[in-house]
Amino acid sequence: MNKHIAATMPCSIVLVHGAFVDASGWKAVHAQLSAQGYEVLVVQNPTISLAGDVAATGRVIGMARHPVILVGHSYGGAVITEAGMHPQVSALVYIAAFVPDAGESVASLTAHPEPGAPAAPILPPQDGFLVIDPAGFAQAFAADVDADETRFMAAAQAPWGLEAVTGVVNRPAWKSKPSHYLVAASDRMIPPAAQRRMAARAGARVLEVDCSHAAMLARPDEVAALIAAAAVASTHADIAVH
């Protein structure tokens, strides 16, 4: 007769931000997960090229003491899709994020607008970089976040390099590792319908939350809970004893 013993191993969490913002957006999520006892590392990506951001993320993964739950928001989803092939990564968590397949980029995923969805107010490229029109930033990116904060976010945007937008994923980690996805149901940057399709294609476990694109700012409790659930699912195994 088989006996099953539940074993839970420690894990680390690595947080990857998306375009137009920096790693400070993870502050509330970082605090919650750290309080739960997780080692939480945060990547500060330059968002100039996909390859550069994958390399920067890989360096942080390499600093982790335990198997890694790799989390990406928005464009950060493309980054973790490639960086997630690092052998230390055990699972992926996408937060209102792009989930490219092999040969795809953010540019290719957004080439055909979603019918009926509002267009993201991204200005034409200047010197190889994109920014969001500051006048439309709050409504499109973070309509449910404090107005003072969104005004500052709009003014302090990190320009998004076209090499990051067009960078192609070669080896999508979601094809070989478990993935989880938070759909932001009121997102005006990545249409929720597109999020649902990408999550389904990746076979991700899906949580849908009525929030803006900036889910980690608007709903940090739900974001942290999803990441913690992914950590538990990844590290909790039944060991069969014969």
151 in Cβ contact with 134 (< 8 Å)? no
Q: Is 221 a domain residue? A: yes
Res 237: pLDDT: 37
Res 9: pLDDT: 62
Res 4: pLDDT: 31
Res 236: pLDDT: 66
CATH number at residue 178: 3.40.50.1820
Q: Is 169 a domain residue? A: yes
- Residue 146, strand partner residues: none
Q: Is 98 a domain residue? A: yes
Q: How far apart are CA 226 and CA 84, in angstroms?
A: 18
CB atoms within 10 A of CB 235: 17
* Overall domain count for the chain: 1
Tell me which residue of 7, 2, 1, 53 sits closest to 238, measured CA to CA.
Answer: 7
Res 195: pLDDT: 98
Q: How far is CA 10 from CA 61, 80, 96, 190, in A?
A: 15, 21, 26, 33
Rounded to two decimals, what is the model's pTM? 0.93
Q: Is 44 a domain residue? A: yes
Domain region containing 137: 3-236
Q: Is 56 a domain residue? A: yes
| Sequential pLDDT tens for the chain (242 residues) | 233 323 356 899 999 999 999 999 999 999 999 999 999 999 999 999 999 999 999 999 999 999 999 999 999 999 999 999 999 999 999 999 999 999 999 999 999 888 888 889 999 999 999 999 999 999 999 999 999 999 999 999 999 999 999 999 999 999 999 999 999 999 999 999 999 999 999 999 999 999 999 999 999 999 999 999 999 998 763 222 23
Q: How far is CA 76 from CA 3, 50, 98, 109, 205, in A?
A: 41, 9, 7, 14, 18
Res 167: pLDDT: 98
Q: Is 241 a domain residue? A: no
Q: Is 105 a domain residue? A: yes
Res 62: pLDDT: 97
13 in Cβ contact with 2 (< 8 Å)? no
Res 238: pLDDT: 27
Q: Is 242 a domain residue? A: no
Res 113: pLDDT: 84
Res 159: pLDDT: 96
